Amino acid sequence: MHTAVLIPGDGIGPEVTDAMRRVLSAAGAQINWIERHAGVAALERGGDSVLPADTMNAILEHGVAIKGPCTTPIGGGFASINVALRKKLNLYGAVRPVRSVKGVATRYEDVDLIVVRENTEGLYSGIENIITEGVITSLKVATDEACRRIARFAFTYAVSRGRKKVTAFHKANIMKLSDGLFIRCAKEEHERGGFASKVQYEEMIIDAACMRIVQNPSQFDVILCENLYGDLISDLCAGLVGGLGVTPGANFGDKHALFEAVHGSAPDIAGQNKANPLAVIMSAVMMLRHLAAKRNDQSAAKVADRVRDAYNVALVAGEKTRDLGGSLGTCEFADAVIARLK
């Protein structure tokens, strides 16, 4: 039996995470769920913080969590819950697998890449200052330690997954110091860390890289980015395979891991049984594989395979939610996946 913290999130979050729990339970996953809250949901329960201490303490204790989407106010209000969790738990390595899914119509059929994103610094460090009226600066932070750490993570992850190439996206031709440090550290870690014989490394200026992704995504394997670039590139790549509804996400640190649906909380359709729970189900599959590897539990890996196979068969059969061209609601899609398990 494994213990994992569940943060349902806001908006459609409780619906999609409930669907995920039902699917995992039907597949035989041995998970003891510890439910905690963050964001608007925490405030609505009478809390005075969007990231309560009991939520943080639960993740620190159990080491693994999965969350639904949490609302982030635009242009004001409280700071991003996602950013806060990554910083407090030192979840420096974000992983976004992007793969073509049979049964989901897109212009590409052979996309199979992974975006690895540095999660703790860059422009998302949140250091902004008002210089004078009408003039604001945002500070982009890059440290040698974090740049080397994410490079080692990307190379190690690529090797462990049998990948052949890591491409670092950058803008070092303009941001010569910050992005220059990023690619210099990546190159040095590749050469000195014992990775050169195991995985190829290349660098690409990010604007040209975006054009090449759209032209032919199959030329990429693992993409390594600093924080802001990784945020943008991962969503761009999701668009190649059908959108955020079919792309899972995970955030790794040395001691903790947080898995999440990376789409928004969609408050406009909350409570209407319209949301697609596939992304959080896929993220749960990633969580099961993490537990299997970390705790040497092959039963968790087998459950992950069962769930993956079940939603793949359901999608090919046309059992899809409305955003993917089908007619099923949130609950009905979960029911379809559960039926395919049997």
Contacts 24+ apart (CB under 8 A), 176-179: 177/142, 178/122, 178/140, 178/141, 178/142, 178/226, 179/142, 179/226
Evaluate whether 119 touches 224 at the Cβ level (below 8 Å). no
The single residue of 54, 207, 254, 268 carrying the catalytic annotation is: 207
18 given a catalytic annotation = no
The single residue of 10, 18, 179, 231 carrying the catalytic annotation is: 231
The single residue of 124, 201, 229, 311 carrying the catalytic annotation is: 124
171 given a catalytic annotation = yes
The single residue of 171, 179, 221, 335 carrying the catalytic annotation is: 171
Pairwise CA distance, residues 67 & 87, whole Å: 16
207 given a catalytic annotation = yes
With CA atoms as reference, report the closest residue to 156 among 118, 112, 204, 193: 193
198 given a catalytic annotation = no
* Planar angle of CA 214, 220, 223, nearest 5 degrees: 100
Give the catalytic positions in this structure: 124, 171, 207, 231
